[in-house]
């Protein structure tokens, strides 16, 4: 990083790299760019870093568990000799344990399986749903109903069953919504399996001198097990004998390259030594015998798993918002309820009646259907997201994504295509750009030069990678290749340009080959050429550019060999520097036609004695490769930026590569510089640079390790563009915690087992669907099915939309609460016949209002929601004061007035003018009065009055319903005019409106004769009484929106916009 | 309720049709199917039970006062300005002034309070007035009358005044409080005469119903007062 990509080993080059004085960095880079096998080399480097990181992560933590883990990791079995091991574990490597010993140990230590994370029992989960949210309030209501009936019954055995009905209905509401929520939750949590999935089914073990296949969970410490390619390692094992065994430790360490194993003790750290195989990792090839040294939760993976479950799962922002909302509403309900209970009692109402009022007030205040609606809304979005490759495990995570303010993204696979691709070529003193897009289709560089002909031949022939047979119909870029990443890249590159590579290789028969090794740092092969007139052998070689150049005395320019002079060497250096500076892996290519006289057709090449020349070759060109960014990522990053989301790259990769990719995808924008860049530009020391001038920072894991939390905070606040390179997955946890200290909502991507603590800690953990380990998927809240960063941005957009739409839904739902509440208050104080019954209210909350409030989830965004800042999780509440005030006091009161007008109209039309209704309650409800006189002198029996009261309920209900239609329409937008939004764009709204009307018609005309429901048939004209009020609501809201648009920032805007 | 639930589909359909348009009452879409409700006077304190002791005037003092108060508008003095309408026909009027028909209190004969200011309570033959709730525009068909029967076996003889409990059509239709000033609703008095005056406690349950008019219902599952009224009289010696 210290400004220079020059990872050269050749010390003679340091003179052209003045800033390459940073010894630590040099060490790290020294393995990079050094040969065809450099990928493996690099990744070994990476791996070591990760191990260090693993320990670093555990060291500074005060967390007791982590301390323990560190201690546990100080196992020294890898240092012991086989004899010592046999003694320690009381076993014998030839005969194995005896069955009795094994049984004893199994009883003592338990099965070799990970303890699954503590699952809440299903019944507890279910009960939680039954008492969560508003349920408690409704239970109280139901119980009060039954108590009230009990008292009534004890006084008069013929008392009406109304209260029993009501209690049952309330209980039913709670139970049904509880079952619904439980079902929704169960559906989403079952998406992924647990850690258990990683446990291998069977293990081959030596016991009682016999080879036996036993279930892997029966393994005990001291067992001798045999593994072969394809097996999952059944426990932590110390390897005793190894035949070409390579393991995939990626789920543990994040290293994607196969790691060779041996029985030798190679490193002090148990994580780095080659003679230990880890539980749940995969043996890719070869065979090995090992002794089990740790089982179950005591394995390294087991400890990480318990670390992950030790990291508390943060409550999702939407859960906090909903809780906040429930508290507000419940608070309002209970306080109004109690207030009016007291008022009722002091107005000399019977306590029993006052309790009934209390229930009515609670029921009117609680939006019974809302929580179910929210769940449905979230799951609708989750479904929509699943179509866009985001699988949401936890429904609430949908919204979390929308409030995300920092995304910590992996590089490999998420931002990049996760495959090496040829990016640049250098020959004839020119750099050519190759097409790195996903399909490689557009290779436009000049292919007419003779040099290219030679270079392409070397690329084709000096390559051991092959396509798996039988893939002729598969596009080249998608074919499966046997070979390492660089060779695969070269194979595909040449296949795209030259056509059938395998055929070319066949025509140029290979007679000898030296594969790459880290001492030579080159790879060569000797071929018979396909030119029948040319009997010379062609030797082709590729490798670390500086090594290749050393072996050359000539260079090919425009197809002609020229002596390699100082100028051409300079040109080579310049090109090499430039390509290296792009973070690309550079390879050099050279060839030599062996003279036919010295090497006749019958000549036998011996690769051990090297009986052929390997110097004075002809240098042909350079080629550089990179894992290129996905084509959709730069756009996505730009979107994030305009959406106020900081994108931080966290990668185990090399800082230069990381920085190059960060630049190419826009995580570091084109004109921002790091401190090092500024130092280089101004030719001053890094320390002299004013840190404020730098917008970007590239921080390595090594530097991160030495930072205090305060320094990390400073780094995170001061730099808008940050790349963490060479970090271990464990350091991700530190970074996430740092971001969370800034009050940010943090999204983290990850794929390895080691990522799971960070994924859990993050506000939203995003696991990769393709590359992700089960552990990561298990810890994550969301899974990206296509591993593509751009999908996260889609998710953010949906999350923000759902937050807006939930606001609308809640505003819509809350509005009618006032219209439902006022009847009770006025009934108590003014003594009117009860305008609306409790059961009728439930039919609004759980009947007519349900589909419309879900329909609001389909509303399109009002403006570009990706152009505003993420919401502040403490300031931008889901339900804020403005929303509550506007819904309750503006639209809500209007609705109440409208509904009362309908009520009074019906009563007046039937005979009771408003004036006589005042304080009529006692007589009205007196069963001995059967000739109550109305305003026209007519006389009413009790039942006739009761029937009129039900008609009043129905009328009030219809009044609210009609106005809720207007309410639904105005809630489509919060700022724009409805006409800007389009009245008909969201068709579901109209389904909602239709549902309201149809349900109301059915209730009135269909179920009008069912006494318990207390609906009656209504004269048609009564349906239209509330229409003017509906229109008034619409006009009022349009005016509100107009002023908000006209005077942004004004008092009006601040108080009327919710 | 249970009866309702057992209603067959056809019945519901028929009822529904009736709701849309009821040809008898001319009601369209459910203005409450209003029918007469029957109520009684004096207003008993407890639910429709009259209980008094013949020898103790204080025990029925309340009833008598209630009846006197109720019959005050029926005084001959008060009825001077009312129309003497022709009997046996509806008294339909076009307005703007609506006249009210006289209801001579003498029609109630023994229960008129004229001859016996104690309305029979002092002799153990109490009078109870049955009245019909006022309903605007209701035009009874046929010959409506109030028929009272004793539900208990023959312990009491019931006499109704006017004879046969007849209600004359001339009191209908009613045009409302404002237009139809000083309208007098027709009354029927029921006098309970206990047979065995010797026994110390006489008790009878009386059920009165509207009869003789096809458009006036006297049976409703839910409304116990629709076209009928049931009360109990207990007289102690």
CB–CB of B37 and A1016 under 8 A? no
Task: Give the number of other Cβ atoms within 10 Å of residue A969's Cβ.
Answer: 21
pLDDT of residue A891: 94
pLDDT digit string (tens) for A427-460?
A: 988 888 888 777 666 777 778 888 998 999 999 9
Judged against a pLDDT cut of 60, whether residue B1 lies above it is answered with no
B221 close contact with A: CB closer than 8 A: no
Nearest neighbour of B31 by CB, restricted to A937, A1005, A1019: A1019
Mutation to test the B interface, candidates A936, A948, A1022, most B Cβ within 10 Å? A936
Using CA atoms, how far residue A795 sits from A767, A855, A960, A1038, B151, in Å, is 14, 20, 36, 31, 79
pLDDT of residue A96: 86
Judged against a pLDDT cut of 50, whether residue A222 lies above it is answered with yes
Alpha-carbon distance of A381 to A417, in angstroms, equals 27
- Tokens encoding A249: 């430790």
Partners of residue A933 in chain B, C-beta under 8 Å = 134
Nearest neighbour of A931 by CB, restricted to B133, B174, B178: B133
When pLDDT is averaged across residues A660-681 and rounded to a whole number, the result is 88
- Residue A998, C-beta contacts closer than 8 angstroms, at least 6 positions apart: none
Judged against a pLDDT cut of 60, whether residue A55 lies above it is answered with no
At A718, which helix (H) or strand (E)?
helix A709-718
Using CA atoms, how far residue A1022 sits from A40, A550, A952, A957, A1017, in Å, is 81, 98, 10, 11, 10
Lowest mean pLDDT of A44-58, A505-519, B15-29, name the range: A44-58
Judged against a pLDDT cut of 90, whether residue B27 lies above it is answered with no
A24 close contact with B: CB closer than 8 A: no
Nearest neighbour of B39 by CB, restricted to A927, A930, A938: A930
pLDDT digit string (tens) for A182-191?
A: 887 776 555 4
Percent of chain A with pLDDT over 70: 88
Higher pLDDT, B18 or A571: A571
Percent of chain B with pLDDT over 70: 81
pLDDT digit string (tens) for A298-326?
A: 888 777 766 666 555 567 777 888 888 88
Alpha-carbon distance of A1022 to B30, in angstroms, equals 12
Q: Report the chain B residue with the minimal C-alpha distance to residue A946.
A: B223
**ipTM value of the model?**
0.85
pLDDT digit string (tens) for A978-989?
A: 898 888 889 999
When pLDDT is averaged across residues A679-707 and rounded to a whole number, the result is 87
Bridge-partner residues for A749, per DSSP?
Answer: A766
Contact indicator for A522, A548 with CB cutoff of 8 Å: yes
When pLDDT is averaged across residues B14-23 and rounded to a whole number, the result is 53
Measure in Å the smallest separation between the Cα of A893 and chain B Cα atoms: 29
- Tokens encoding A128: 């939680």
Nearest neighbour of B177 by CB, restricted to A931, A937, A951: A937
pLDDT of residue B196: 60
Judged against a pLDDT cut of 50, whether residue B32 lies above it is answered with no
Nearest neighbour of B37 by CB, restricted to A930, A937, A1009: A930
pLDDT of residue A196: 42
Q: Are strands B49-53 and B228-236 parallel, antiparallel or unpaired?
A: parallel
pLDDT of residue A488: 87
State whether the Cα torsion B119-B125-B126-B131 is positive or negative.
negative
Peptide bond preceding B173 in cis form (omega within 30 of 0): yes
Alpha-carbon distance of A38 to A484, in angstroms, equals 10
Measure in Å the smallest separation between the Cα of A948 and chain B Cα atoms: 8
pLDDT of residue A963: 95
A160 close contact with B: CB closer than 8 A: no
State the average pLDDT for chain A.
82
When pLDDT is averaged across residues A166-177 and rounded to a whole number, the result is 86
What letters, b where the CB count within 10 A reaches 16 and e where it falls short, cover A701-715? bbbbbeeeeeebeeb
pLDDT of residue B161: 86
Judged against a pLDDT cut of 80, whether residue A967 lies above it is answered with yes
At A242, which helix (H) or strand (E)?
strand A236-248
- Tokens encoding A24: 């630590």
Per-residue pLDDT band for A1032 (boundaries 50, 70, 90) equals very high
pLDDT digit string (tens) for A238-267?
A: 988 888 788 877 666 655 567 788 888 887
pLDDT of residue B18: 53
User: Which of these is catalytic: A43, A223, A410, A967?
Assistant: A410
Per-residue pLDDT band for A193 (boundaries 50, 70, 90) equals very low
pLDDT digit string (tens) for A23-43?
A: 333 332 222 333 333 333 333
Judged against a pLDDT cut of 80, whether residue B19 lies above it is answered with no
Alpha-carbon distance of A796 to A864, in angstroms, equals 12
CB–CB of B15 and A1009 under 8 A? yes
Q: Best-predicted range by mean pLDDT among A10-14, A191-195, A620-624, B75-79?
A: A620-624
Percent of chain A with pLDDT over 90: 21
Alpha-carbon distance of A412 to A423, in angstroms, equals 16
CB–CB of A937 and B43 under 8 A? no
pLDDT digit string (tens) for B50-83?
A: 888 888 888 888 888 888 888 888 887 778 878 8
Question: Could you say which residues from 1015 to 1044 on chain A have a Cβ atom under 8 Å away from some Cβ of chain B?
Answer: 1016-1020
Nearest CA to B57 out of B105, B117, B113 is that of B117
Mutation to test the A interface, candidates B1, B6, B11, B34, most A Cβ within 10 Å? B34
Ranges assigned E (strand) in chain B? 21-22, 27-28, 38-41, 49-53, 127-132, 145-150, 156-161, 187-194, 201-211, 228-236
State yes or no: is A410 an active-site residue: yes
Q: Best-predicted range by mean pLDDT among A124-133, A179-188, A818-827, B93-102?
A: A818-827
Lowest mean pLDDT of A439-443, A486-490, A831-835, name the range: A439-443
Contact indicator for A588, A619 with CB cutoff of 8 Å: yes
Nearest neighbour of B29 by CB, restricted to A933, A937, A1020: A1020
Alpha-carbon distance of B24 to B138, in angstroms, equals 11
State the average pLDDT for chain B.
78
Q: Report the chain B residue with the minimal C-alpha distance to residue A910.
A: B31
pLDDT of residue A865: 84
- Residue A5, C-beta contacts closer than 8 angstroms, at least 6 positions apart: A29, A577, A580, A581, A582, A583, A656
Q: Are strands A522-528 and A537-543 parallel, antiparallel or unpaired?
A: antiparallel
Measure in Å the smallest separation between the Cα of B144 and chain A Cα atoms: 19
Alpha-carbon distance of A975 to A758, in angstroms, equals 39
Measure in Å the smallest separation between the Cα of B159 and chain A Cα atoms: 24
Per-residue pLDDT band for A873 (boundaries 50, 70, 90) equals confident
Per-residue pLDDT band for A116 (boundaries 50, 70, 90) equals low
- Tokens encoding A291: 């002794």
Measure in Å the smallest separation between the Cα of B54 and chain A Cα atoms: 25
When pLDDT is averaged across residues B199-205 and rounded to a whole number, the result is 80
Contact indicator for A734, A57 with CB cutoff of 8 Å: yes
Nearest neighbour of A943 by CB, restricted to B131, B134, B223: B223
Contact indicator for A311, A270 with CB cutoff of 8 Å: no
Partners of residue A948 in chain B, C-beta under 8 Å = 32
Measure in Å the smallest separation between the Cα of A1006 and chain B Cα atoms: 9
Peptide bond preceding B42 in cis form (omega within 30 of 0): yes
Lowest mean pLDDT of A392-396, A686-690, B177-181, name the range: A392-396
When pLDDT is averaged across residues A216-245 and rounded to a whole number, the result is 85
Judged against a pLDDT cut of 60, whether residue B3 lies above it is answered with no
pLDDT of residue A583: 82
Task: Give the number of other Cβ atoms within 10 Å of residue A885's Cβ.
Answer: 14
Contact indicator for A588, A458 with CB cutoff of 8 Å: no
Per-residue pLDDT band for B11 (boundaries 50, 70, 90) equals low
Cβ-Cβ pairs closer than 8 A, A with B, add up to: 82
Alpha-carbon distance of A553 to A542, in angstroms, equals 15
Per-residue pLDDT band for A73 (boundaries 50, 70, 90) equals low
When pLDDT is averaged across residues A280-294 and rounded to a whole number, the result is 84
Q: What pTM was computed for the model?
A: 0.75
pLDDT of residue A476: 82
Helix ranges (H only) for A33-134 are 38-58, 64-73, 82-89, 99-109, 122-131
Alpha-carbon distance of A555 to A575, in angstroms, equals 14
B130 close contact with A: CB closer than 8 A: no
- Tokens encoding B18: 């009736």
By CB atoms closer than 10 A (0-12, 13-18, 19+), residue B10 is exposed
Q: Report the chain B residue with the minimal C-alpha distance to residue A909.
A: B31
- Mapped onto helix, strand or coil, the DSSP state of residue A526 is strand
Q: Report the chain A residue with the minimal C-alpha distance to residue B47.
A: A928
- Mapped onto helix, strand or coil, the DSSP state of residue A929 is coil
Measure in Å the smallest separation between the Cα of A917 and chain B Cα atoms: 17
Per-residue pLDDT band for A591 (boundaries 50, 70, 90) equals very high
Nearest CA to A50 out of A1017, A855, A702, A948 is that of A702
What letters, b where the CB count within 10 A reaches 16 and e where it falls short, cover B75-110? eeeebeebeebeeeeebeeeeeebbbbbbebebbbb
CB–CB of A936 and B176 under 8 A? yes
Question: Could you say which residues from 930 to 969 on chain A have a Cβ atom under 8 Å away from some Cβ of chain B?
Answer: 930-931, 933, 935-944, 947-948, 951
Judged against a pLDDT cut of 90, whether residue A148 lies above it is answered with no
Report chain B's terminal Cα–Cα distance, integer Å.
42
pLDDT digit string (tens) for A525-573?
A: 999 888 888 888 999 999 999 889 989 999 999 888 889 888 888 999 9
Q: Report the chain B residue with the minimal C-alpha distance to residue A1017.
A: B30
A667 close contact with B: CB closer than 8 A: no
Partners of residue B224 in chain A, C-beta under 8 Å = 943
Judged against a pLDDT cut of 70, whether residue A869 lies above it is answered with yes
pLDDT of residue A19: 34
Q: Best-predicted range by mean pLDDT among A268-272, A875-879, B5-9?
A: A875-879
DSSP string, B135-147: -BT----S--EEE
When pLDDT is averaged across residues A17-25 and rounded to a whole number, the result is 33
pLDDT of residue A606: 86
pLDDT digit string (tens) for B141-152?
A: 888 888 888 887
Task: Give the number of other Cβ atoms within 10 Å of residue A944's Cβ.
Answer: 27
* Sheet architecture: strand order including A696-700: A390-392, A782-784, A764-768, A746-750, A406-409, A646-650, A721-725, A696-700
């Amino acid at each position: 990083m210290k400004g220079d990509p020059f990872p050269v080993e050749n010390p003679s080059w340091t003179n052209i790299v003045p800033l390459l004085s940073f010894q630590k960095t040099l060490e790290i880079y020294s393995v990079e760019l050094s040969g065809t096998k450099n990928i493996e080399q690099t990744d070994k480097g990476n791996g070591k870093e990760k191990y260090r990181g693993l320990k670093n992560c555990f060291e500074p933590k005060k967390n007791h568990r982590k301390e323990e883990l560190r201690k546990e990791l100080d196992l020294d079995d890898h240092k012991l000799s086989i004899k010592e091991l046999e003694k320690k574990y009381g076993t014998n490597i030839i005969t194995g344990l005896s069955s009795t010993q094994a049984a004893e140990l199994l009883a003592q230590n338990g099965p070799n399986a990970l303890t699954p994370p503590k699952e809440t029992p299903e019944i507890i989960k279910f009960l939680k749903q039954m008492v969560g949210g508003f349920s408690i309030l409704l239970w109280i209501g139901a119980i009060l109903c039954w108590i009230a009936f009990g008292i009534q019954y004890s006084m008069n055995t013929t008392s009406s069953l109304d209260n029993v009905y009501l209690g049952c209905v309330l209980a039913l509401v709670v139970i049904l919504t509880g079952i619904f929520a439980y079902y929704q939750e169960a559906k989403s949590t079952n998406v992924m399996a647990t850690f258990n999935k990683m446990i291998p089914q069977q293990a081959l073990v030596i016991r009682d001198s016999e080879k036996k296949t036993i279930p892997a969970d029966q393994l005990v410490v001291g067992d001798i097990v045999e593994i072969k390619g394809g097996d999952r390692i059944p426990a932590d094992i110390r390897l005793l004998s190894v035949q070409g065994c390579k393991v995939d430790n990626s789920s543990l360490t994040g290293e994607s390259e196969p790691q060779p194993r041996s029985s030798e003790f190679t490193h002090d750290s148990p994580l780095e030594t080659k003679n230990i195989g880890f539980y749940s990792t995969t043996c890719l090839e070869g065979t090995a015998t090992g002794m089990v040294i740790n089982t179950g939760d005591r394995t390294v993976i087991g400890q990480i798993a318990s670390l992950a479950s030790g990291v508390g799962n943060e409550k999702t922002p939407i859960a906090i918002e909903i809780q906040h909302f429930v508290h507000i509403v419940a608070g309002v309900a209970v306080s109004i309820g109690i207030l009016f209970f007291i008022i009722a009692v002091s107005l000399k109402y019977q306590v029993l009646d006052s309790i009934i009022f209390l229930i009515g007030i609670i029921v009117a205040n609680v939006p019974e259907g809302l929580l179910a609606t929210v769940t449905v809304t979230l799951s609708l979005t989750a479904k929509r997201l699943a179509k866009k490759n985001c699988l949401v495990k936890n429904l609430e995570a949908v919204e979390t994504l929308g409030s995300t303010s920092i995304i910590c993204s992996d590089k490999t696979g998420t931002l990049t295509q996760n495959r090496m691709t040829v990016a640049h070529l250098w020959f004839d003193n020119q750099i050519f750009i190759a097409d790195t897009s996903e399909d490689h289709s557009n290779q436009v560089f000049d292919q007419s030069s003779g040099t290219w002909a030679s270079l392409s031949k070397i690329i084709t022939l000096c390559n051991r990678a092959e396509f798996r047979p039988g893939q002729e119909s598969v596009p080249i870029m998608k074919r499966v290749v046997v070979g390492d990443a660089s060779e695969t890249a070269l194979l595909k590159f040449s296949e795209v340009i030259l056509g059938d590579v395998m055929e070319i290789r066949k025509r140029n028969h290979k007679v000898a080959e030296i594969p790459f090794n880290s001492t030579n740092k080159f790879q060569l092969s000797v071929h018979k050429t396909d030119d029948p007139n040319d009997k010379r052998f062609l030797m082709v070689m590729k490798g670390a550019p500086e090594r290749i150049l050393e072996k050359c005395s000539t260079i090919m320019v425009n197809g002609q060999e020229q002596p390699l002079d100082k100028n051409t060497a300079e040109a080579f250096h310049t090109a090499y520097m430039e390509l290296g500076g792009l973070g690309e892996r550079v390879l050099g290519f050279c060839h030599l036609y062996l003279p036919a006289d010295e090497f006749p057709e019958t000549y036998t090449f011996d690769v051990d004695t090297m009986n052929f020349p390997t110097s004075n070759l002809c240098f042909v060109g350079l080629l550089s490769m990179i894992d290129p960014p996905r084509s959709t990522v730069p756009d996505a990053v730009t979107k994030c930026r305009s959406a106020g989301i900081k994108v931080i790259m966290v990668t185990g990769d090399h800082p230069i590569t990381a920085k190059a990719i960060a630049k190419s995808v826009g995580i570091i924008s084109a004109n921002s510089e790091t401190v090092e860049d500024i130092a280089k530009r101004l030719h001053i020391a890094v320390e002299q640079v004013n840190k404020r001038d730098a917008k970007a920072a590239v921080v390595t894991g090594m530097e991160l390790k030495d930072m205090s939390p305060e320094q990390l905070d400073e780094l995170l606040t001061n730099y808008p563009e940050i790349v963490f390179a060479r970090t271990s997955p464990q350091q991700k946890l530190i970074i996430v915690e740092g971001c969370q200290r800034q009050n940010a909502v943090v999204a983290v991507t990850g794929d390895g087992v080691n990522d799971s603590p960070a994924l859990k800690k993050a506000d939203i953990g995003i696991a990769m669907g393709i590359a992700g380990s089960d552990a990561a998927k298990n810890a994550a809240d969301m899974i990206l099915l296509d591993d593509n960063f751009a999908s996260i941005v889609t998710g953010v957009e949906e999350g923000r939309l759902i937050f807006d739409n939930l606001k609308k839904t809640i505003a819509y739902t809350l509005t009618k609460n006032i219209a439902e509440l006022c009847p009770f208050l006025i009934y108590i104080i003014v003594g009117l016949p009860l305008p609306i019954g409790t059961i009728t209210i439930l039919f609004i909350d759980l009947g007519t209002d349900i589909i419309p409030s879900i329909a609001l989830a389909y509303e399109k965004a009002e403006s570009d929601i990706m152009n505003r800042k993420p919401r502040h999780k403490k300031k931008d509440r889901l339900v804020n004061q403005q929303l509550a005030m506007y819904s309750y006091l503006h639209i809500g009161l209007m609705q109440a007035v409208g509904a009362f007008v309908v009520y009074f109209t019906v009563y007046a039309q039937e005979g009771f003018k408003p004036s006589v209704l005042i304080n009529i309650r006692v007589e009205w409800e007196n069963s001995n009065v059967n000739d109550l006189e109305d305003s026209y002198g007519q006389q009413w029996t009790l039942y006739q009055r009761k029937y009129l009261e039900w008609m009043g309920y129905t009328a009030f209900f219809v009044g609210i319903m009609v106005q809720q239609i207007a309410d639904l329409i105005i809630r489509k937008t919060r700022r724009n005019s409805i006409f800007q939004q389009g009245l008909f764009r969201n068709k579901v709204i109209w389904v909602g409106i239709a549902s309201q009307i149809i349900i109301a018609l059915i209730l009135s005309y269909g179920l009008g004769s069912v006494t318990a429901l207390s609906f009656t048939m209504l004269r048609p004209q009564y349906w239209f009484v509330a229409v003017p009020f509906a229109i008034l609501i619409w006009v009022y809201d349009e005016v509100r929106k107009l002023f908000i648009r006209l005077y942004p920032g004004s008092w009006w805007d601040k108080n009327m916009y919710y | 309720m249970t009866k309702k639930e057992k209603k067959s589909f056809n019945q519901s359909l028929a009822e529904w049709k009736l709701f849309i348009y009821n040809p008898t009452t001319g009601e369209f879409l459910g203005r409450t199917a209003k029918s007469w409700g029957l109520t009684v006077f004096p207003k008993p304190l407890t639910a429709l039970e009259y209980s008094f002791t013949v020898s103790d005037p204080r025990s029925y003092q309340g009833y008598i006062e209630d009846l006197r108060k109720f019959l005050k508008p029926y005084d001959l003095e008060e009825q001077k300005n009312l129309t003497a309408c022709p009997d046996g026909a509806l008294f339909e009027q076009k307005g703007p002034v609506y006249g009210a028909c006289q209801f001579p209190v003498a029609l109630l004969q023994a229960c008129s309070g004229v001859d016996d200011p104690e309305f029979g309570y002092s002799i153990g033959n109490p009078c109870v007035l049955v009245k019909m709730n006022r309903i605007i525009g209701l035009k009874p068909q046929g010959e409506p009358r109030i028929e009272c029967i004793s539900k208990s076996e023959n312990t009491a003889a019931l006499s109704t005044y006017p004879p046969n409990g007849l209600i004359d059509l001339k009191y209908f239709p009613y045009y409302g409080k404002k237009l139809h000033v000083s309208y007098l609703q027709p009354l029927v008095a029921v006098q309970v005469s206990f047979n065995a005056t010797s026994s110390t406690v006489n008790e009878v349950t009386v059920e009165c119903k509207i009869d003789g008019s096809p458009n006036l219902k006297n049976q409703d599952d839910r409304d116990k007062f629709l076209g009928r009224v049931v009360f109990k009289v207990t007289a102690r010696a």
